[in-house]
Amino acid sequence: MVNIVIALVLSFFIAGLGLVYEGKVTLGSGVILLWTMLCLIALYAEGIISIIAGASAAMVWACSFVTTFLKVH
């Protein structure tokens, strides 16, 4: 039985981890990989690339959080 609180807390700290906890391993792993790559690009790039990558990472995180919530219910 999947606990929604645990899934949402995991997804809050690392995008996609809540999906992995729910059993959606392929989707969750892809989200984790994409989010990590975008965060690293935002951290090490300069200028507009950093801003775009950071905004994209935030969108991936938000979509992952909402998807985790909707998949549990």
Query: Per-10-residue mean pLDDT for the chain, 73 residues long?
Result: 88 94 94 97 96 97 92 66
Backbone angles phi and psi of 66, in degrees to 5: -65, -40
Kindly report the pTM of this predicted structure.
Answer: 0.89
Quote the pLDDT of residue 31: 96
Cα–Cα distance for residue pair 48/42, rounded to 1 Å: 9
The pair of structure tokens assigned to 15 is 């995008």
